[in-house]
């Protein structure tokens, strides 16, 4: 039996041998040193917790919601192919139609220590892909709720100062399932959750600081790949190991770009002479609310929330024109390399 004391779900006992074995694999343990927040977590800008904590949390939430052991395994493994620095690899290798870690999931699992363990317990790794469409509690398209989306939201709330432990417990008490979909039983709880999700997107996920640091790091790493300093297999290190490797690259342009990936880097909206113009992913939820045995999207029950969500999506969907500089730098030394 394996004991887990989770900050969201409390003390838990894992007595299924296959779950215990997968949790102990080298592939899962690597995720202990990969931040959910990517480089902003590494720099101490965003609330930091590991992909391992999140993956275990998704499994625990699925258990709480009555998911099958097979779906719990899929939840545990859904982020196993994440690279260091989270989604930065999407901008280096991917065509953006599918996340890099989703594309690499079969290959990463196949070459790991996981298939043999699963086979020994009567499971096939090929059947556990989160995007298979089989696991409706684990994955749903936005803005619906799913265990993946709910867990990283809950795990960010308290350290971000957007919710207390008591409020998180209150919300969890109102989460249930209806016809295989995660729903909220209480209208006020749904409003609370949806509003804080928007605030999280405003202050972290789609904030100019997050977008700029993400862009500069991705630009740095793309150049490192093009110049032959970074190979695809290097991405499957820990965050700190890859961070150290990047800082040992001697090429001046790469070192210059990397110097802007700092906690105190200054990000300024600048439409006249930006370092770059980009768009970012906008994240919102529209929780299904259970009323009278049927489920309704929160936006259909609450026009005020519907307007708030629509305004946020419209504002964050606009192109961002950003200028990036270091403290005490002059404009000509901005990160774009235009000097």
> What does the pLDDT read at residue 91?
80
Mean pLDDT to the nearest integer, 54-68: 98
What percent of the chain has pLDDT above 70? 95
> What does the pLDDT read at residue 95?
56
CA distance 209 to 25: 35
> What does the pLDDT read at residue 66?
97
pTM: 0.93
> Which pairs count as long-range contacts for 288-295, CB under 8 Å and 24+ apart, including other chains?
288/144, 288/145, 288/178, 288/181, 288/182, 288/183, 288/184, 289/183, 289/184, 289/185, 289/186, 289/187, 289/190, 290/176, 290/178, 290/183, 290/184, 290/185, 291/187, 295/178, 295/179, 295/181, 295/183
Mean pLDDT to the nearest integer, 15-23: 97
Number of H-type helices and E-type strands within the chain: 16, 9
pLDDT for residue 292 is more than 50:
yes
> What does the pLDDT read at residue 329?
60
> What does the pLDDT read at residue 92?
82
> What does the pLDDT read at residue 332?
46
pLDDT for residue 204 is more than 90:
yes
CATH architecture of the domain with residue range 1-159 = Orthogonal Bundle (1.10)
Mean pLDDT to the nearest integer, 3-26: 95
Average pLDDT, the chain: 93
Choose the weakest-confidence range: 45-49, 117-121, 154-158.
45-49
CA distance 131 to 103: 10
CA distance 117 to 209: 42
pLDDT for residue 96 is more than 70:
no
pLDDT for residue 150 is more than 80:
yes
How is residue 198 written in tokens?
A: 């928007």
> What does the pLDDT read at residue 333?
43
For the beta carbon of residue 177, count every other beta carbon within 10 angstroms.
Answer: 15
pLDDT for residue 337 is more than 60:
no
Q: Where in the chain is the domain with CATH 1.10.3210.10?
A: 1-159
Confidence of residue 339 (pLDDT cuts 50, 70, 90): very low
Residues constituting the chain: 339
Mean pLDDT to the nearest integer, 11-40: 95
């Amino acid at each position: 039996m394996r004991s887990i004391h989770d900050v969201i779900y409390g003390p838990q006992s894992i007595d299924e041998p296959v779950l215990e074995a997968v949790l102990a694999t080298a592939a899962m343990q690597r995720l202990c040193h990969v931040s959910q927040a990517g480089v902003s977590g590494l720099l101490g800008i965003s609330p930091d917790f590991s992909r391992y904590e999140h993956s275990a949390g998704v499994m625990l939430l699925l258990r709480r919601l009555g998911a099958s052991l097979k779906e719990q395994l899929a939840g545990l493994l859904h982020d196993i192919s994440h690279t260091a620095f989270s989604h930065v690899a999407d901008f280096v290798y991917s065509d953006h139609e599918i996340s890099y870690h989703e594309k690499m999931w079969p290959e990463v699992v196949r070459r790991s220590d996981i298939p043999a363990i699963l086979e020994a317990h009567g499971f096939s790794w090929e059947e556990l892909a989160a995007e298979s469409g089989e696991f409706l509690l684990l994955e749903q398209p936005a803005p619906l709720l799913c265990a993946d989306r709910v867990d990283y939201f809950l795990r960010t709330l308290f350290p971000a100062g957007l919710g207390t432990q008591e409020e998180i417990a209150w919300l969890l008490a109102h989460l249930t399932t209806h016809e295989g979909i995660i729903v909220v039983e209480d209208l006020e709880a749904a409003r609370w959750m949806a509003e804080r999700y928007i605030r999280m997107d405003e202050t972290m996920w789609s904030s100019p600081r997050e977008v700029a640091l993400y862009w500069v790091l991705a630009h740095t790493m793309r150049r490192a790949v093009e110049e032959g300093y970074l190979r695809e297999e290097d991405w499957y290190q820990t965050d700190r190991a890859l961070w150290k490797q990047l800082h040992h690259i001697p090429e001046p342009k790469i070192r210059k770009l990397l110097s802007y990936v700092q906690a105190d880097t200054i990000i300024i909206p600048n439409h006249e002479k930006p370092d770059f113009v980009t768009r970012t992913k906008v994240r919102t939820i529209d929780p299904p609310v259970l009323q009278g045995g049927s489920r309704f999207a929160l936006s259909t029950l609450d026009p005020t929330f519907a307007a708030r969500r629509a305004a946020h999506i419209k504002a964050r969907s606009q192109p961002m024109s950003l200028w990036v500089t270091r403290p005490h730098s002059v404009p000509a030394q901005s990160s774009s390399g235009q000097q």
